[in-house]
Amino acid sequence: MKPNLIVMKFGGSSVADGLAMKQVLAVAAKDSSVKKIIVLSASKGITDKIIETCNLAVSKYDAAVRLIEEVRSHHISIAKDALSSANALDRAVTHINSIIDDFIRYIKGINLLSELTPKMIDHCLAFGEKLSTLIFHNLLIEKSIKSELAQAEQFIKTNSNFGKASPDFDKIKELINNPYGLLDKFGKCDIIVTQGFIGSDSDGNITTLGRGGSDYSAAILGFACSADEIQIWTDVSGVQSADPKQIDKARTINKMSINEIRELSFFGAKVLHPDTIKPAVEAGITVKVLNTFSPHEQGTLIDSSPELTPQIHSISVKKNILSIKFTFKTNHNSSRQAAEILSTLSNNKYATLASSFTESSMIVFVEVDDNAKVIMLKSLFRDCIISYGDMCCIVGNNLTAAEQNSIAHKILHSIQDIPIKFFLLGSNDESIFIFADAEYSDRLIRNIHSLIE
Ligand code: ADP
Ligand code: ASP
Ligand code: MG
């Protein structure tokens, strides 16, 4: 059946330059009988640059402004390449300048206070998505496509957890579906353009949904407006059997389950934000990952029902993971000690990736992004052994099927000459985790990938 409403999200590389923007236009303008909400990321590299600018602003105002000027010229040149009429270009440049001037004023404030909070960073991060959406909206106007630019903070309501805010689904649904809500704009247009990644809290402060969060914005919107389909348009042809930047022979997986995607993206495959698909797929909305630069390819369909044929779909790796080994005290209940360790970690905001314990010992894997947290870990647990390594995640169907030569068996065989330190069969039969020293992770991935080449 033909869809009525689609949410289409285009990532940073799809709006990296004027040519890419025109390609987005070609994809988005196809089939004018379908209503579309277009969610855009900031242009590639801009979010990183804004974070760098904010950090510089605390003590080096001039250097920060120099970076902002680079952001200004980058967007003016995107606008020049994308827009052909002088009118559209004039309008876009005026608007770009006003956003950049706001940004500079805000940076001045950070510098005067010599203080940078997550709330201030979120405020500045929003400039990236504001800039890309305004240029694209001008491109639609120039092509006489009836469209509206909607500011995401007006309807993506979140809590105040700046840097990784959680959506308030009830509020969002209300703001989208009420008589003067977002969907009302379709009375006047066929395409609504909005920013991914950003929202606002109940006091109106800008929040962000975490890095790569535009995928999540698309899923939230798709869910809240009961879209027929959510399309995640990126620079590769769907979810691949491994990161194509690492493995040349990586190929597209046409169909995957939500569990596989969640594990894969959580363990390093940045193609999709881990929180993205759950709300959408649970609501029965089709989610597809597609290639902006090769739109005729089938891409990947995310499905809620796993297939049964045992097979490996994809492999990813998360680097710089801490392994923490504990030896349990004798005469103490081991499950209680394990529970205490996990709750200490969670109370201190460590992200535990995997763990296992026996009567006498336990191993826990955590993701730590700064050195201070490693030092704190050592003070929380004095008698543990800590080391670094990479965690490899393999996803597929029926991986542990009790056949004589199960997939798990084949994987172990393919890596028999690699000194692995941990091997875990995921309880859903759709994932396997292997931990090894960083020097072996590339070989680990290549050997396992060779099983599906
Ligand atoms: P976007 O800017 O469109 O959100 P991202 O850079 O966030 O794109 O994600 C796409 C990138 O994810 C690809 O260019 C690819 O290098 C990387 N990637 C890592 N693992 C995978 C995988 N298994 N399948 C597809 N892409 C992957
Ligand atoms: N611009 C944001 C980032 O780079 C969000 C996104 O691209 O999904 O993380
Ligand atoms: Mg992304």
For ligand 2, atom 5, the nearest C-alpha belongs to 212
Helix (H) or strand (E) run with residue 169 in it: helix 169-177
Output the pLDDT for position 401.
74
Q: Is 126 in the pocket of ligand 2 (CB under 6 A)?
A: no
Task: Give the ligand with the smallest distance to the CA of 271.
Answer: 1
The residue out of 203, 235, 267 marking a domain boundary is 235
Separation of CA 275 and ligand 3 centre (Å):
12
Query: Cβ(136)–Cβ(196) under 8 Å?
Result: no
Q: In this structure, is residue 401 part of a structural domain?
A: yes
The range of the structural domain enclosing residue 22 comes to: 5-235
Q: Is 47 in the pocket of ligand 2 (CB under 6 A)?
A: yes
Residues 208 and 336 in one domain: no
Q: Rounded distance, CA 294 to CA 23, Å?
A: 10
For ligand 2, atom 6, the nearest C-alpha belongs to 212
Residues 224 and 338 in one domain: no
Residues 209 and 315 in one domain: no
Give the position of tokens 């529970």.
339
Task: Give the ligand with the smallest distance to the CA of 241.
Answer: 1
What is the CB neighbour count within 10 angstroms for residue 92? 26
Give the position of tokens 């974070």.
51
The residue out of 187, 205, 235 marking a domain boundary is 235
Which atom of ligand 1 is nearest the CA belonging to 233?
A: 3
CATH at residue 337 = 3.30.2130.10
For ligand 1, atom 26, the nearest C-alpha belongs to 271
Q: Where are the alpha helices (DSSP H) in 58-117?
A: 61-82, 86-113
Which atom of ligand 1 is nearest the CA belonging to 269?
A: 20
The residue out of 209, 235, 261 marking a domain boundary is 235
- b/e code 4-18 from CB counts within 10 Å (16+ = b): ebbbbbbbbbbbbbb
Task: Give the ligand with the smallest distance to the CA of 198.
Answer: 2
Residues 228 and 357 in one domain: no
Q: In this structure, is residue 292 part of a structural domain?
A: no
Residues 209 and 336 in one domain: no
Task: Give the ligand with the smallest distance to the CA of 12.
Answer: 1
Task: Give the ligand with the smallest distance to the CA of 211.
Answer: 2
Q: Is 212 in the pocket of ligand 2 (CB under 6 A)?
A: yes
Q: Rounded distance, CA 78 to CA 97, Å?
A: 14
Residues 334 and 214 in one domain: no
Q: Is 197 in the pocket of ligand 2 (CB under 6 A)?
A: yes
CATH at residue 141 = 3.40.1160.10
Separation of CA 235 and ligand 2 centre (Å):
14
Task: Give the ligand with the smallest distance to the CA of 235.
Answer: 1
Q: Rounded distance, CA 196 to CA 293, Å?
A: 20
Q: In this structure, is residue 77 part of a structural domain?
A: yes
Q: In this structure, is residue 384 part of a structural domain?
A: yes
Q: In this structure, is residue 291 part of a structural domain?
A: no
Which mutation among 195, 214, 234, 265 tests ligand 2's pocket best, with the greatest number of atoms within 8 A of CB?
214
Q: Is 211 in the pocket of ligand 2 (CB under 6 A)?
A: yes
Separation of CA 291 and ligand 1 centre (Å):
10
Residues 107 and 203 in one domain: yes
Output the pLDDT for position 286.
87
Q: Rounded distance, CA 399 to CA 311, Å?
A: 7
Residues 128 and 37 in one domain: yes
Residues 39 and 148 in one domain: yes
Q: In this structure, is residue 244 part of a structural domain?
A: no
Which mutation among 234, 260, 302 tests ligand 1's pocket best, with the greatest number of atoms within 8 A of CB?
234
Separation of CA 317 and ligand 3 centre (Å):
16
Residues 346 and 207 in one domain: no
Output the pLDDT for position 400.
76
- Compute mean pLDDT per 10 residues along the chain, 453 residues long, and list them: 87 98 96 94 98 97 98 98 96 98 97 96 98 98 96 98 96 94 92 98 97 95 94 96 95 90 86 80 87 97 78 93 91 88 94 92 92 89 92 90 77 95 88 95 96 91
Separation of CA 358 and ligand 3 centre (Å):
38
Residues 44 and 182 in one domain: yes
Which atom of ligand 1 is nearest the CA belonging to 214?
A: 4
Residues 215 and 82 in one domain: yes
Separation of CA 16 and ligand 2 centre (Å):
12
pTM of the model: 0.93
Output the pLDDT for position 306.
65
Which atom of ligand 2 is nearest the CA belonging to 129?
A: 1
The identity of residue 266, as a single letter, is F
Separation of CA 230 and ligand 1 centre (Å):
17
Separation of CA 135 and ligand 2 centre (Å):
17
What is the CB neighbour count within 10 angstroms for residue 233? 25
What does the radius of gyration of the chain's CA atoms come to, in whole angstroms? Answer: 24
Which atom of ligand 1 is nearest the CA belonging to 242?
A: 23
Beta strand extents in 165-250 (DSSP E only): 191-195, 198-200, 206-208, 229-234
How many structural domains does the chain have?
2
Q: In this structure, is residue 299 part of a structural domain?
A: no
**Of 238, 337, 229, 219, the residue nearest 294 (C-alpha):** 238
Which atom of ligand 1 is nearest the CA belonging to 241?
A: 23
Q: Is 22 in the pocket of ligand 2 (CB under 6 A)?
A: no
Which mutation among 49, 197, 270 tests ligand 2's pocket best, with the greatest number of atoms within 8 A of CB?
197
Output the pLDDT for position 270.
85
Q: In this structure, is residue 338 part of a structural domain?
A: yes
Q: Token pair for residue 7?
A: 């949410």
